[in-house]
Amino acid sequence: MLFNTPEFVVFFLLIAAVTFVLNHFRMNIVRNVVLLLASYAFYGNLHVYYPLLLLYVTLVNFVGGRLLEAEHRSLRQRKVIVGCVVVGTLLPLVVLKYAPAYTDSLWLPVGLSFFSFQALTYTLDMYRGKISERFSLLDVALFTAFFPTLLSGPIERARRLVLQLRDKFDMGWDNAIVGAQHFCWGLFKKIVVADRLAEWVDAVYAQGTAASGGALALAAVLYSFQIYCDFSGYASMAIGCGRMLGIRLMDNFNYPYFATSVKEFWRRWHISLTGWFTEYVYISLGGNRVSRIRWVANIALVFLLSGIWHGATWSFVIWGAIHGAMYLVEYFTGIRDKWGIYRVLVFIGVTLAWVFFRIPDAATACQLIARMFTTSWLPLSSIIGLSASTLIMGCVFLVFLVTEWCLYTGRMPKHWLWRAVGFSSLIVMTALFAVNSEKFVYFQF
């Protein structure tokens, strides 16, 4: 049961209706019990054993948090507790995600990386004194399992989300309308734009080194938008679901391809994960309060860990290393964007790095990139063809680009009538041009 299925719409409307009634009568605890059961049912629908892992991660962090509450604990004891919780939380992730690299088997529960990192924010914030009040088991369990964030984030912080889940939800019309708009825009990005781009990108990469340089270059560019629409589409739907329930989830994307530097790109792409690594890894290593050499090592380590977080292959390691190298080169050269030129270079660098993200074998990825620069580029018409499917892809892609530009620049119509027309048109285009897909790119992580 994924966000882009009719089953989820029925599920969500039912849960929203029950939540609204319980919330209206201020039955907060009963409401949260219902949401917790619904979240476990949502996750269990994917696999009957998935909720056991979710429960395990929840209990490890809840017990760890309780142990940290004791005032008589020494600093050394608190560090030991945190270390045990981190190891205990990440152990299933390490075994299930990275052991397949050596065993040729794979069983990675969807969302494990995301809710493991989210649960850890409770323990780590307790250790750092950022949480001053006691959270109940229900608080921690619902925070960890909250179904809009469960499968692919955003990776929320306990200190922010738990307090919202405790209070009365603001389930008014304004939030319902804004949430529905977020959800529909995310749905359009996913099943209309991303999934249509995926058909063409997959067809090109299936040819391997037999594909022309022009086709591979175009596929690399389109994949940049495919993965953005796929992942940001999921994030928009998650944020929309939360908003319709009266919960404000953090933004996970902020128009990253408009970034004028690599540093800015990472402030705009997968914001919740970037923030997680910054707060709980980079700062823990000393951040920028260390020597220059140590700082360089910290930056390199964070980017390499980001690559490894995505998967145990050399392609992901190289992907992280490329971004780390671009970040450091940018810092030491002091290069700045002039007339939009560097912005284009940043996009090109990010796009080439995505090839390693898309192709699991690093050697093959290098060969494909080499072909982009060493083989002739055929005329565009012979590369993409002129089929009806291609024309539809081009039209919906243009709609996406124009809409993103208007959202980024704040030029969207303000009058309710124009907004209603735009919203209705979006729904119609989604119904007419949607492509059925049962997976999201980031579910594999």
Which residues are annotated as catalytic?
310
- The answer to whether 307 and 226 have CB atoms below 8 angstroms apart is no
Dihedral angle of Cα 170, 173, 176, 179, to the nearest 10 degrees: -90
Reduced 3-state DSSP string for the chain: CCCCCHHHHHHHHHHHHHHHHHHHCCCHHHHHHHHHHHHHHHHHCCCCCHHHHHHHHHHHHHHHHHHHHCCCCCHHHHHHHHHHHHHHHHHHHHHHHHCHHHHCCCCCCCCHHHHHHHHHHHHHHHHCCCCCCCCCHHHHHHHHHCHHHHCCCCCCCHHHHHHHHHCCCCCCHHHHHHHHHHHHHHHHHHHHHHHHHHHHHHHHHHCHHHCCHHHHHHHHHHHHHHHHHHHHHHHHHHHHHHHHCCCCCCCCCCCHHHCCCHHHHHHHCCHHHHHHHHHHHHCCCCCCCCCHHHHHHHHHHHHHHHHHHHCCCHHHHHHHHHHHHHHHHHHHHCCCCCCCHHHHHHHHHHHHHHHHHHCCCHHHHHHHHHHHHHCCCCCHHHHHCCCHHHHHHHHHHHHHHHHHHHHHHCCCCCCHHHHHHHHHHHHHHHHHHCCCCCCCHHHHC
In the numeric block, the tokens 């290069």 are attached to 335
Closest CA to 206 of 216, 191, 196: 216
User: Residue 363 corresponds to which amino acid?
Assistant: A
Place of tokens 């990675």: 108
From residue 392, alpha-carbon distances to 34, 102, 220, 336, 434 in Å are 42, 43, 20, 37, 11
- The amino acid at residue 308 is I
